[in-house]
Amino acid sequence: MQHRGQQLIMAVRKIIEIDEEKCDGCGQCVSACAEGAIEIRDGKARLVAETYCDGLGACLGECPQDAINIIEREADAFSEELVRQRVALLGILAPMQACSGLQARLFLRA
Q: Does 15 bind ligand SF4 (CB under 6 A)?
A: no
CB-based contact 66:22 (threshold 8 Å): yes
β-pair partners for 72: 14
Nearer to ligand SF4, 45 or 104 (CB): 45
Q: Does 26 bind ligand SF4 (CB under 6 A)?
A: yes
What minimum distance in Å lies between the beta carbon of 30 and ligand SF4?
Answer: 7
Total residues interacting with ligand SF4, rule: CB under 6 A: 14
Nearer to ligand SF4, 27 or 57 (CB): 27
β-pair partners for 50: none
What minimum distance in Å lies between the beta carbon of 80 and ligand SF4?
Answer: 23
Identify each DSSP E strand in the chain by its residue range: 2-3, 6-7, 10-18, 38-41, 44-47, 68-76
3-state secondary structure of 67: coil
3-state secondary structure of 18: strand
What minimum distance in Å lies between the beta carbon of 82 and ligand SF4?
Answer: 21
Contacts with ligand SF4, residue ranges (CB under 6 A): 18, 23-29, 45, 62-63, 65, 67-68
